[in-house]
Amino acid sequence: MRVFLFDLDGTVIDSAEDIALSLRLTLEEIGKSDRMPKDVREFVGGGVKALLERVLGDEFREEYVHIFRRHYLANPVVHTKVYPGLERVLRELKGAGKKVVIVSNKLEELSREILRRVGILEFFDLVVGGDTYPEKKPSPLPVIRTLEVLGEEPSEAVMIGDTEADILAGKGAGTKTALALWGYVRLNSQKPDFVLRRPEEILSLA
């Protein structure tokens, strides 16, 4: 593989505690503290709107997305950390001349800022967020557009993520796909090309 496309939350960074913190503050502000889930990891993947829709169901309102984002922008890296072993993997991929990219459903500027704060922004050739293109994962569009920007073929790329949205986006774009078992894994019927138990196993795809 020449191109390594990474999901962000649950794949490169463990951000669940900070997402939970912002969710808790949001639910408190809108008077729905009783809807706070025990484990936010079960609801992550798909972006802020999808998170709130899963948590609130019929009680979801569009304005809650803005409230959540306000809290998250104020507290993006309180507990967030890079998964053990991932920084070494990124360093080795870059050293081998591979192209390394983030394709997240989180806002692009926020994704970039979090990567900067945890000290690994330098490893990425490109950071694509949920607002970079008109569609986000599970649509294949962000992956397709990213490969066009890089001038690379889908057959030379692998999409690495921890949810069905990542696998669907990769498959739809024609890339190989790899499931990161160390993340907030949610997979229904989709079968990835590779199943990775530890970040170090990513290097076997290079």
Q: Are 31 and 187 in contact (CB under 8 A)?
A: no
Name the token pair of 31: 């008077």
Name the token pair of 77: 């890296």
39 catalytic? Reply is: no
- Angstrom distance (rounded) from CA 141 to CA 117: 28
Point out the residues that are catalytic: 7
